[in-house]
């Protein structure tokens, strides 16, 4: 699948911002199953300075600074991404038992496996705890193949929890999510990760986009989509198996990967520190348009332009 | 100060020859001075002879002299914030700790190697991570330590140096071998204290130090300075090096100020710096000034709120990006606190072979990391003979042997829940060294901190360091909070070495500067408030002294005490309700006045003013002369030592003394601080405060007084210290018109409003306009308005004031209010034009896990 992704962020401030430094993780990363054309980046007002680098996790980070007084900040990133159906795992992939996976993770001396242990440790947003073990246990009977067990946990979270965008914020503790049985994609990913880390497995947080399937007969709602989040569990020697607890599925071609890390804190799409600004409001819109539709739109736009263009 | 000026109380009578008697040398331990009972180590013989010559009585005297010198220099460890608080003075034993040159050479080689090793480890862990990928170092030990900052990954150029300053805590075991038990890289404090120890001891025992065959410290500090300069790779001439401190609230702020002075660096706080155009700038009165090198004494997580800690606003947003751009160098590099992890000790021998191809020279205390199953089992079964530590920074430690069964069980559970977060060390058996106690030398356990600094190639070790007397394996902080004593650590040289002071050295070409426009805006702000506090203390103390005097006169001679009501008004405290008897009234009034001296409650109390004075004083420590600093210390000491049953008479004496100190402070500052931008702000603060107080006093005395008339006028003249001037000028009874001329219009009398306004006007005119605008600034317009109002006053209309003329009263009220109004806006105008760094940054999104 080829998508045209448009991610637009708009901050409006009650008083002028004299100086701001920002980091954007809005440029999708290249993976074995995902190819990206160069992104178009539009930042208004224009930054005095910007620089792109790869971070510790291999994500693309765009640093920029705006040094003139401004009352709004608009960041728009447009990227064409091709997602191949070549992720290393799918629903029916075989896998060793979860205990065996854990043993390999902690005992194997392969450099890649050693490095993956970073993702088995507690991180600021996702720390192991007995409550998570209790929740995970029914999905993890002895000797169950890892992927089957995680898929079961994934499904249980999907069934037990209510998707409620009004309930949580970035700062809602995981305990509260577990107690209240509600949250958003980020909370569900964090919860599943906490369960798996408590069992001694390596998991990472994946941020990205999702093509929302329209109900039959209705056009897809443009701009209604938001950034999405899911998780991946490490299978030593093979790779990372992705699970999306918000949709009870394993990502295939409808999930576009933006960045990954130990938890949300490593991949927040836009962070910044500013001087001034007073209070602020935020608007985010994401559009994930399949290429076919995009092509039509482009053609229409071209036609319009041709129509209104003055005769030579 | 000369010794003659110091009055010592008689020391207890001790026979001088007891100094070395009863020095118990433990059979099993290692004593630094004696190799066996009665047998001095050879390198101690000269020292022992010298000490014997001095004798225990004299040595005790010198010890007290040392403490007095340290106190006068303001050498402290804790914070100043609480004037009653637990601030500890630095204690220094008069007997140095001696080490032979050969012994030190071996130790220094081990320290040098350790610094190289940790630097190589940092370069690896923030780069290719071979140590982890090859299994030389378990990933849990690195990644679970909060000092590992993913944002610092590849932040330095490949040949960049991560470790510049390094402090190593050392213990010498019974076998005479030194072992490291901790590394300090975030804020390796102690080098400044070490230097101060040396200087103070040399002052107190000059005959010992003048020709002593010991290695001097100055060249080490010279290397520090040279290394910092060299870090500015893109600017070889006159790079701007700053010392970044958390500020006066830091327990080791003394050292920050001290080192900044000694190495001639700008002492700055995070809010003084800003990142623009990808590089770091210091906000000064003259605009932004580029910063090339930062000597960092701030925890790395508090250095950049953009990348290092999303829930904090401390630090300089964008700093890490400026580092990546190569426009600024930090010492130590951000992310280096990783190597403070005590669990690394287990892996250093292997890492040393792998990363340096050398065998580790300086051993660590035997250490077990619980992340290894076998080590963990050993630790759990030997808890009672081990010291358990968490690898996390600033964590407590547990001495297994000291715990009861329940506590040991809890500790076992904690370890088992997250074994990779715990290490255990064998308890350090410390060597003992002679410490002076009650006129005789007593063996006490000592621990050492060695210091290492990077130089062009490799590292250089300080010949000496900080020795401290301790009871266990405390951190420096813990040892000092329990009241530790430090010692000067000597490394002996074959021949006497000349004393070299860094202050006489020049480093390359120098840009002569004079106008002070490079003064950080925050410092200007603090100097302004320092001036205001000084004057506020003066004014309040004068009022209090007068009130207490009137109160005592009334008690003794039954004089007219009604003007006390108005003095209470001037002091802004309530007059206690009328009591049944004069006696009861006396006590009530006295109580209210004493409260205003000792209580920390009311905003205008002497205590709170002094706190403000000390706080701002400490924040500009580097801009005050040493003698001024001693005055501030005396002021604080005086208030700390207040008796709990303070009487009125005693209080008045206290205020007398305090007024002397304040006068000395102002006078000295006028005499010593160059009269440039910084001083202007100090002086503007002082005179703004004074003129506002004078105007208030005037209005009270002539307009709003409950009991107007002669007694009150006299009080006004006394408070402004002008009674003599008045008598000399008029030789007659008090007349309001004359008083008004003397205290309101006289432009030659420093206590008069006229003089004060002229001085403010002149000094505000000399301030550098930050905007470079040709027009008058807001503060200039305000002072002009005040001064013109006064000069245009209708003086004849005031002439009938003594006849209770309503017209005169109204005219005076109008005049006082019209002069006062623009002055009230002056403080804000100055803040806006010169100190406008005040705006605090905020996060775009708040992430608090």
CATH number of domain containing A170: 3.10.620.30
| One domain, residues A210 and A304 | no
| Interface touch A121/B143, C-beta < 8 Å | yes
Domain span at A226? 98-267
Does one domain contain both A211 and A301?
A: no
Specify whether B252 is located in the same domain as B348.
yes
Residue B442, domain member (yes or no): no
Q: Are residues B478 and B343 in the same domain?
A: yes
Q: Is residue B714 one of the residues assigned to a domain?
A: yes
Distance from C-alpha of B58 to C-alpha of B15, rounded to nearest angstrom: 11
In terms of domains, do B85 and B155 share one? no
The verdict on a CB contact (< 8 Å) between B844 and A271 is: yes
For residues A154 and A191, the answer to whether their CB atoms sit within 8 Å is no
Residue B162 scores a pLDDT above 80: yes
* DSSP E strand stretches across A28-93: 34-36, 40-44, 49-54, 60-66, 70-83
pLDDT tens track for A24-79 = 999 999 999 999 999 999 999 999 999 999 999 999 999 999 998 899 999 999 99
- What are the residues whose beta carbons fall under 8 Å from the beta carbon of B437, sequence distance 6 or more? none
Residues A125 and A261 in one domain: yes
> What is the tally of structural domains in chain B?
4
Taking residues B300-323, report their average pLDDT: 86
For the domain that residue B389 is a member of, what is the CATH number?
A: 3.30.1490.270
A196 shares a domain with A278: no
User: What is d(CA B593, CA B540) in angstroms, rounded to the nearest whole number?
Assistant: 11
- Provide, as residue numbers in chain B, all residues whose Cβ is less than 8 Å from the Cβ of A124: 849
Asked whether residue B635 is domain-assigned, the answer is: yes
- Asked if the Cβ–Cβ distance from A51 to B321 is below 8 Å, we say yes
Mean pLDDT of chain B: 85
Q: What is the pLDDT of residues B795-822, one digit of tens each?
A: 888 777 666 677 788 888 999 999 999 9
* Residues B235 and B165 placed together within one structural domain of the fold: yes
Establish if A210 belongs to a structural domain.
yes
Specify whether A49 is located in the same domain as A64: yes
The verdict on A167 and A232 lying in the same domain is yes
Span B539-556, pLDDT tens digits? 999 999 999 998 998 888
Instruction: Name the residue in chain B with its Cα closest to that of A57.
Output: B150
Average pLDDT, rounded, for chain A: 90
> Which pLDDT score is estimated for A126?
95
Summarize pLDDT for A166-179 with one digit per residue, the tens.
Answer: 876 766 789 999 99
Nearest CB partner across the interface for B133, out of A63, A115, A124: A115
Range of the structural domain that residue B392 is part of: 366-427
Q: Is B784 a member of any domain? A: yes
Would you call B849 and A109 a contact, using CB atoms and an 8 Å cutoff? no
Residue B422 within a domain: yes
Average pLDDT, integer, range B133-145:
95
Cα–Cα distance for residue pair B101/B491, rounded to 1 Å: 6
Helix (H, G, I), strand (E, B) or coil at B279: strand
Of A19, A124, A274, the CB nearest to B849: A124
Between these two residues, A99 and B78, which has the higher pLDDT value?
Answer: A99
Torsion of CA B137, B143, B149, B153, to 10 degrees: 50
Q: What is the pLDDT of residue B517?
A: 67
Same domain, B66 and B122: no
Contact state of A55 with B321 under an 8 Å Cβ cutoff? no
Residue B84 has pLDDT above 50, yes or no: no
CATH classification of the domain holding A285: 2.60.40.2250
Contacts of B151 in chain A (CB under 8 A): 55-56
pLDDT at B471 over 60: no
B775 compared with A81, residue with greater pLDDT: A81
State pTM to two decimals: 0.83
Residue B249 has pLDDT above 90, yes or no: no
Whether A157 maps to a domain, the answer reads: yes
> In the block, which residue shows the tokens 């002294």?
B545
Q: Do A67 and B277 touch (CB under 8 A)?
A: yes
> From the centroid of its chain, how far is CA A246?
12
**Do the chains contact at B306 and A122, CB–CB below 8 Å?**
no
Instruction: Establish if A195 belongs to a structural domain.
Output: yes
B666/B789 same-domain check: yes
Kindly give, in sequence order, each residue whose CB lies less than 8 Å from that of residue B730, ignoring residues fewer than 6 positions away.
Answer: B738
In this predicted structure, what is the pLDDT of residue A303? Answer: 66
Tally the domains of chain A.
Answer: 2
Distance separating alpha carbons of residues A110 and A236, to the nearest angstrom: 9
Nearest-angstrom CA–CA distance, B784 and B293: 43
Q: Do residues A294 and A216 both lie within one domain?
A: no
Does residue A89 lie in a domain region? no
Q: How far apart are CA A20 and CA B735, in angstroms?
A: 63
Is the residue at A92 inside a domain? no
Q: Do the chains contact at B277 and A20, CB–CB below 8 Å?
A: no
Q: Where are the alpha helices (DSSP H) in B599-722?
A: 606-619, 626-640, 648-672, 677-699, 710-719
- pLDDT exceeding 90 applies to what percent of chain B? 45
Average pLDDT over residues B722-735: 82
Residue A69, number of CB atoms within 10 A of its CB: 13
Instruction: Give B273→chain A minimum CA distance, Å.
Output: 13
What per-residue confidence (pLDDT) applies to B11?
39
Pair B136, B188 in one domain: yes
Cα nearest neighbour of A116 on chain B: B139
What are the DSSP E strand ranges found in B309-391?
Answer: 329-331, 367-369, 387-390
What is the tens place of the pLDDT at every residue in A204-217?
Answer: 999 999 887 665 66
Query: Can you state the percent helix, strand and coil of chain B, rounding each to 5?
Result: 50, 15, 35
Q: Exposed, middle or buried: residue B601 (CB in 10 Å: 0-12, 13-18, 19+)?
A: exposed
Do A75 and A106 sit in the same domain of this protein?
no
Q: How far is CA B538 from CA B219, B549, B713, B739, in A?
A: 44, 16, 19, 21
Q: Are A20 and A77 in the same domain? A: yes
Closest-CA distance of chain A to residue B307, Å: 8
CB contact under 8 A, A273 and B276: no
Interface of B with A (CB under 8 A): 129, 132-135, 139-140, 143-144, 150-151, 153, 274-278, 305-307, 310, 313, 317-318, 321, 324-325, 839-849
Is position A91 within any domain? no
Whether B479 and B546 map to the same domain: the answer is no
Peptide linkage before A45 cis (omega within 30 of 0): yes
Contact B844 A53 (CB under 8 A): no
Q: Where does residue B272 fall: left (phi above 0), alpha (psi -120 to 50 degrees), or beta otherwise?
A: alpha
Same domain flag for B637 and B692: yes
> Does some domain include residue B840?
no
Q: Which of A103-117, B155-169, B497-511 has the highest mean pLDDT?
A: A103-117
Is residue A135 located within the same domain as residue A238? yes
- Over 70: is that where the pLDDT of B6 sits? no
How far is residue B583 CA from its own chain's centroid? 46
What would the two tokens of residue B612 be? 């403000």
Chain A residues lying within 8 Å of B149, measured CB to CB: none
Q: How many residues does chain B have?
A: 849
**Strand residues in B471-551 grouped as ranges (E):** 485-491
For residue A311, name the pLDDT band (cuts at 50, 70, 90). very low
The answer to whether residues B456 and B480 belong to one domain is: yes
Residues in contact with A144: Cβ distance below 8 Å, sequence separation at least 6, in sequence order:
A97, A98
The pLDDT value given to residue B847: 59
Give me the pLDDT at residue B598, please. Answer: 85
The CA-based diameter of chain B, rounded to the nearest angstrom, is: 99
* Domain shared by A243 and A124, yes or no: yes
Torsion sign over Cα B617, B619, B625, B626: positive
To the nearest whole Å, the CA of A84 is away from the closest chain B CA by 30
Write out the E strands in chain A. Answer: 2-27, 34-36, 40-44, 49-54, 60-66, 70-83, 162-163, 182-183, 203-210, 228-235, 239-243, 255-261, 270-276, 280-290
CB-CB neighbours of A103 under 10 Å: 14
Burial of A261 (0-12, 13-18, 19+ CB in 10 A): buried
Query: Residue B9: pLDDT band by 50, 70, 90 thresholds?
Result: very low
Q: For residue B16, name the pLDDT band (cuts at 50, 70, 90).
A: very low
The ipTM estimated for the assembled molecules is 0.91
Q: pLDDT of B163-201, one tens digit each?
A: 999 999 999 999 999 999 899 998 788 888 898 899 889
Nearest C-alpha neighbor of A220 from the set A211, A232, A209, A231: A211
Strands A162-163 and A182-183 come out as parallel
For residues B564 and B466, state if they share a domain: no
Of B302, B296, B303, B298, give the one whose Cα is nearest residue B320: B303
- Give the distance between the most distant pair of CA atoms in chain A: 77
Whether B511 has a pLDDT exceeding 70, the answer reads no
Q: Which of B655, B681, B665, B597 is nearest to B631 (CA)?
A: B665
Scan for tokens 């950034």, then name that residue.
Answer: A227
Res. B282: pLDDT tops 80: yes
| B697 and B647 in a common domain | yes
- Going by their DSSP bridges, the two strands B178-184 and B165-172 should be labelled as antiparallel
Question: Which residues of chain B does A105 touch, with a Cβ-Cβ cutoff of 8 Å?
Answer: none
Count Cβ atoms below 10 Å from residue B412 Cβ, excluding itself: 16
A115 and A192 belong to one structural domain: yes
Whose tokens are 């090859």? That residue is B134
């Amino acid at each position: 699948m080829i998508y045209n992704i448009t991610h637009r962020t708009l901050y409006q401030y009650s008083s002028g911002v004299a100086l701001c430094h920002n980091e954007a993780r809005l440029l999708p990363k290249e993976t074995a199953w995902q190819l990206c054309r160069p992104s178009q980046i539009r930042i208004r007002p224009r930054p005095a300075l910007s620089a792109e680098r790869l971070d510790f996790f291999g994500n693309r980070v765009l640093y920029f600074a705006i040094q003139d007084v401004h009352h709004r900040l608009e960041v728009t990133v447009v990227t064409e991404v091709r997602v191949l159906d070549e992720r290393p795992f799918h629903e029916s992939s075989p896998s060793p038992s979860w205990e065996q996976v854990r043993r390999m993770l902690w005992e194997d001396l392969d450099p890649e496996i050693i490095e993956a242990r970073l993702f088995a440790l507690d991180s600021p947003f996702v720390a192991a705890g007995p409550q998570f073990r209790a929740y995970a246990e029914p999905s993890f009977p002895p000797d169950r193949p890892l992927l089957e067990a995680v898929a079961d946990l994934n499904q249980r979270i999907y069934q037990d929890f209510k998707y409620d965008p009004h309930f949580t914020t970035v700062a809602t503790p995981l305990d509260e999510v577990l107690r209240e049985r509600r949250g958003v994609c980020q909370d569900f990913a964090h919860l599943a990760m906490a369960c798996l880390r408590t069992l001694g497995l390596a998991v990472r947080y994946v941020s990205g986009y999702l093509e929302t399937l329209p109900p039959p007969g209705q056009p897809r709602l443009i701009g209604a989509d938001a950034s999405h989040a899911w998780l991946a569990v490490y299978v030593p020697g093979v790779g990372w198996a992705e699970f999306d607890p918000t949709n009870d599925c394993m990502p295939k071609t409808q999930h576009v990967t933006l960045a990954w890390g130990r938890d949300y804190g490593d991949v927040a799409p836009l962070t910044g520190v500013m001087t001034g600004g007073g209070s602020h409001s935020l608007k985010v819109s994401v559009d994930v348009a399949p290429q076919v539709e995009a092509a039509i739109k482009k053609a229409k736009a071209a036609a319009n332009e041709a129509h209104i263009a003055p005769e030579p | 100060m000369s010794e003659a000026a110091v009055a010592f109380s008689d020391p207890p009578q001790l026979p001088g020859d007891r100094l070395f008697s009863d020095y118990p040398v433990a059979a099993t331990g290692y004593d630094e001075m004696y190799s066996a009972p009665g047998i001095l180590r050879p390198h101690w013989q000269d020292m022992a002879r010298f000490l014997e010559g001095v004798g225990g009585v004299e040595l005790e005297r010198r010890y007290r002299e040392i403490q007095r010198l340290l106190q006068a220099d303001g050498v402290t460890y804790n914070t100043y914030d609480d004037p009653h608080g637990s601030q500890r003075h630095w204690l220094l034993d008069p007997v140095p700790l001696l080490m032979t040159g050969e012994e030190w050479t071996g130790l220094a080689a081990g320290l040098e190697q350790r610094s190289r090793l940790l630097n190589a480890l940092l370069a690896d862990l923030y780069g290719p991570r071979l140590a982890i990928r090859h299994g030389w170092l378990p990933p849990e030990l690195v990644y679970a330590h909060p000092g590992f900052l993913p944002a610092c990954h590849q932040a330095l150029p490949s040949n960049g140096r991560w470790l510049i300053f390094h402090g190593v805590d050392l213990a010498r075991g019974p076998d005479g071998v030194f072992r490291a038990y901790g590394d300090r890289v975030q804020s390796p404090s102690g080098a400044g204290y070490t230097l101060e120890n040396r200087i103070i001891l040399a002052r107190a025992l000059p005959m010992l130090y003048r020709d002593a065959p010991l290695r001097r410290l100055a060249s080490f500090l010279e290397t520090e300075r040279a290394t910092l300069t060299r870090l500015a790779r893109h600017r070889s001439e006159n790079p701007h090096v700053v010392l970044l401190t958390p500020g006066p609230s830091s327990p080791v702020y003394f050292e920050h100020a001290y080192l900044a002075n000694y190495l001639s660096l700008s002492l700055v706080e995070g809010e003084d710096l800003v990142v623009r155009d990808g590089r770091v700038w210091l906000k000064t009165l003259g605009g932004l000034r580029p910063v090339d090198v930062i000597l960092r004494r701030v925890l790395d997580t508090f250095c950049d709120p953009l990348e290092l800690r999303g829930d904090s606003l401390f630090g300089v947003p964008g700093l890490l990006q400026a580092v990546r751009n190569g426009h600024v160098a930090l010492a130590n590099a951000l992310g280096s606190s990783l190597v403070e992890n005590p669990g690394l000790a287990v892996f250093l021998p292997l890492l040393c072979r792998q990363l340096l191809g050398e065998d580790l020279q300086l051993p660590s205390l035997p250490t077990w990391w619980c992340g290894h199953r076998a080590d963990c089992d050993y630790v759990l079964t030997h808890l009672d003979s081990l010291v358990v530590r968490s690898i996390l920074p600033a964590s407590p430690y547990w001495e297994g042997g000291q715990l009861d069964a329940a506590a040991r069980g809890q500790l076992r559970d904690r370890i088992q829940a997250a074994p990779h977060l715990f290490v255990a060390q064998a308890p350090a058996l410390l060597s003992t060294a002679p410490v002076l106690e009650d006129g005789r030398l007593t063996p006490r356990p000592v621990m050492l901190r060695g210091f290492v600094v990077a130089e062009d190639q490799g590292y250089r070790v300080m010949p000496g360091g900080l020795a401290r007397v301790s009871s266990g394996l405390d951190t420096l902080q813990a040892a000092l909070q329990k009241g530790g004593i430090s010692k000067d650590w000597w490394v002996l040289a074959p021949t006497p070495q000349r004393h070299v002071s860094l202050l006489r050295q020049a480093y390359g070409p120098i840009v002569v500067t004079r106008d002070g426009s490079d003064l950080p805006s925050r410092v200007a702000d603090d100097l302004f408030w320092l001036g205001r506090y000084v004057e506020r203390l003066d004014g309040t103390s004068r009022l209090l002294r007068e009130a207490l005097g009137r109160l005592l006169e009334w008690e003794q001679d039954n004089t007219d005490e009604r003007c006390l009501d108005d003095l209470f008004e001037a002091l802004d405290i309530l007059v206690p309700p009328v009591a049944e008897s004069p006696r009861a009234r006396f006590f009530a009034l006295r109580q209210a006045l004493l409260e205003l001296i000792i209580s920390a409650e009311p905003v205008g109390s002497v205590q709170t003013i002094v706190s403000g004075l000390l706080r701002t004083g400490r924040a500009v420590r580097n801009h005050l002369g040493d003698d001024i600093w001693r005055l501030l210390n005396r002021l604080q000491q005086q208030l700390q030592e207040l008796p709990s049953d303070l009487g009125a008479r005693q209080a008045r004496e206290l205020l007398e003394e305090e007024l002397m100190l304040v006068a000395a402070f102002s006078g000295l500052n006028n005499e010593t601080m160059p009269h440039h931008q910084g001083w202007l702000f100090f002086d503007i603060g002082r005179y703004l405060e004074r003129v506002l107080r004078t105007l208030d006093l005037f209005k009270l005395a002539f307009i709003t007084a409950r009991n107007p008339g002669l007694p009150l006028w006299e009080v006004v003249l006394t408070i402004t210290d002008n009674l003599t001037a008045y008598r000399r000028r008029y030789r007659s009874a008090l007349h309001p018109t004359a008083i008004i001329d003397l205290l309101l219009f006289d432009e030659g009398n420093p206590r008069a409003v006229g003089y004060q306004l002229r001085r403010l006007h002149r000094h505000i005119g000399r301030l550098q306009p930050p905007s470079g605008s040709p027009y008058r600034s807001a503060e200039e317009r305000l002072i002009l308005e005040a001064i013109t109002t006064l000069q245009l006053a209708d003086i004849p209309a005031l002439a009938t004031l003594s006849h209770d003329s309503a017209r005169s009263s109204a005219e005076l009220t109008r005049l006082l209010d019209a002069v006062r109004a623009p002055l009230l806006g002056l403080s804000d105008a100055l803040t806006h034009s010169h100190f406008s760094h005040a705006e605090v940054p905020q996060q775009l999104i708040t992430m608090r896990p």
